[in-house]
Chains A and B, each alone.
Chain A
Amino acid sequence: MATDLRTGVRPARAPLPLPPLLAALAATLLVSLLCCVALGASGVGWGDTARHLWAGLSGGTIAPDEVPAYTIVWELRFPRALLAAVVGAGLSAIGVGVQAMVRNALADPFVLGISSGAAVGANAVLLFGALGSLGVWALSGAAFTSALAAMALVYAAARTRHGLTPLRLVLTGSAMYYGFSAITTLMVFSADRGEAARSAMMWLLGSLGGATWSSVPIAAAVVLAGTGYLLWSAPRLNALAMGDETAAALGVDAERLRRVLFVVTAAVTGAVVAVSGAIGFVGLMVPHVTRMLVGADHRRVLAVAPLMGAVLLLWVDVVSRLLLAPVELPVGVITALIGVPCFVVLMRRRGYVFGGS
């Protein structure tokens, strides 16, 4: 490609056409979902996996001696794969939303302090058995509730009479993040149950190990609703990304939009973190990789990013289960190990501009 000699800049970019990209991503997602169910430490063949999945989906019958394999496929791996897809999609969509909301390239779903707030509630359950009466709902219930409490706290602290300004939001959220993390660490140290401390650690780094059929539907519904809202708001997110003044001139009330975005992204973060812990890097990296492929228009970014995030997290989960099998690694470790080099290479290759140079 030739460079324009007069201005010395690279020529126009041709972003990938959207419909074929979406079709390819949807197909990849389906295949990845199947692979994620079929691949695991205890070998269940591809044929058996397909048969058990079909039995589960269609309500068919299986032979009694196949019950263990069926249980692995239908009760453990399939909900886990679905959850991985939901969480990956959710984190990616919120990452896009938060980056537009605070107009900051370094923002991710956790920059608002919501996730570490959720960790406080979750660890209270894990370490001290709080909310024991809620049974299996105690953990995600506590995580979600404390995420909402953290959201209220960040909102109250960041709000001025001019509303929520991007910089104040990021600063307040980051400060709260350290505050909540300190509380969590205090709890881990003061609890004397070694195993619980270990699972608290797993939870801080993110894990899909707790996936059950009961944890999938609510998370999926919240992620779908949140992503739907963001997609619907995509044209206004474009205006917001250009600046509050520009947004105003285009008939968008930046202050009100940012308020709604804050509540939506916080609620989705809370729902995702409640079922999977704080899986880092997905919400930061996927939005950027998506913009490198399809440009910055939020209508395109928000259509592509959730699919990319879902596929990414499915494969990350496979790797985290198989790399040191039977030991399962925290998902966040793998997202960082795979993500960082990919990210650096992509950023250097595509002349990606974010920040003006």
Chain B
Amino acid sequence: MRVDIEGLAVDVAGARLVEDIALRADSGQFVGLVGPNGSGKSTLLRCVYRALRPAAGRVLLDGDDLHALTAREGARRLAALPQESGGEFDFTAAEVVAMGRLPHQGPGGRATAADAEVCAAALARAGAAHLAGRGFLTLSGGEKQRVLIARALAQEPKVLVLDEPTNHLDIAQQLEVLSLVRESGVTVLAALHDLNLAAGYCDALYVVAGGRIVASGPPHSVLTAELLAEVFGVRAHRVPHPVSGAPQLLFDRLPLA
């Protein structure tokens, strides 16, 4: 499913945090949002998974205005992993995954045998079947992320939105999570703070700074030394990844002017 964002602006508490956002993710593409902390990546994504309403502009899924759909209809097409800790309630991993069926069931819906099958398949695909009976709050960061990905898969979405999915994970878990998402086959829109991971996994990158998109395109054309100096304030040296050939970055502090 294709995602088009047109002229999007989002206000929070009366302040305009992002504006004039234009973005396109073709069906099955992995599109990354990068940018310094506070640049508006999360705000943009929160609007895409409907936690915030746009002040202007539209988010289109295959041409349909997402915010004109019902919340349930929207959630059947688009799933998200927000940056939330998951509350204090002691759900089991299986119960967390079962919540992914909510948009398919309706408000007072009962889980059917088909729902249970979808959930079991999602847990297996996310490599989390062995965690099903464990308490979600007792899981490690990487295990939690697998379970949340299983929940998103159980939603059977066409688009997946991820807000810094590799936060607090060790390097093996980071690679695991991004590979899982990449292999899901759905269109992915993800905010990533590790530029090297972004360069390795994304088909296209959008650079957000000061609430606007300042550059976009394939990683090798976006992640230039000039842009990184301007947006992140660092000196970057590019080297090709010895296996994949993707651009990888080594950093220095920028000398004080």
Contact = CB atoms under 8 A, between A and B. Distances in A.
Contacts of A246: 82, 84, 86, 99
Given A235-B102, A249-B79, A252-B102, A243 B71 contact: no
A9 B103 CA distance: 33
A328 to B, nearest CB: 38
Contacts of A244: 51
B134 A356 contact: no
B133 A14 contact: yes
A162 B13 CA distance: 8
Contacts of B108: 232-233, 235
Given A238-B91, A297-B95, A354-B88, A250 B51 contact: no
Nearest to A300: B95
Contacts of A13: 92, 133, 135
Interface in B60-85: 70-76, 78-85
B165 interface: no
Interface residues of A, number: 39
B213 interface: no
Contact of B105 (A11, A235, A249): A235
A59 interface: no
A12 B132 CA distance: 8
B49 interface: yes
Given A9-B134, A235-B105, A356-B88, A249 B140 contact: no
A295 B93 CA distance: 11
A250 B46 contact: no
A113 B46 CA distance: 33
B117 interface: no
A239 B87 contact: no
A245 B46 contact: yes
A354 B87 CA distance: 9
Contact of B99 (A7, A162, A235, A291): A235
A103 interface: yes
A242 B95 CA distance: 11
A235 B101 CA distance: 10
Interface string A1-15: 000000101111110
Interface string A226-245: 00000011011011011111
Contacts of A241: 87, 89, 91
Contacts of B78: 249
Nearest to B132: A12
B102 A236 contact: yes
A197 B102 CA distance: 51
A243 B89 contact: no
Interface residues of B, number: 47
Given A10-B138, A242-B99, A250 B75 contact: yes
B49 A242 contact: no
A105 interface: yes
A296 interface: yes
A287 B95 CA distance: 18
Contacts of A354: 88-90
B98 to A, nearest CB: 8
Contacts of A291: 89-90
B90 A243 contact: no
Interface in B19-56: 46, 49-51
Given A236-B107, A243-B82, A251 B74 contact: yes
A159 B137 CA distance: 31
B255 interface: no
A18 B172 CA distance: 40
A297 B82 contact: no
B18 interface: no
Contact of A243 (B87, B91, B134, B155): B87
B91 A251 contact: no
A237 B74 CA distance: 19
A252 B105 CA distance: 12
B107 A232 contact: yes
16 contacts: A11-B133, A11-B134, A13-B133, A235-B107, A236-B107, A238-B95, A242-B89, A245-B51, A248-B51, A249-B79, A250-B102, A251-B102, A295-B92, A353-B90, A353-B137, A353-B138
Given A249-B81, A291-B90, 20 more contacts: A10-B138, A103-B87, A235-B105, A238-B99, A241-B87, A243-B86, A246-B86, A249-B82, A250-B99, A250-B102, A251-B73, A251-B75, A251-B102, A291-B89, A295-B91, A297-B98, A353-B135, A353-B137, A354-B90, A356-B137
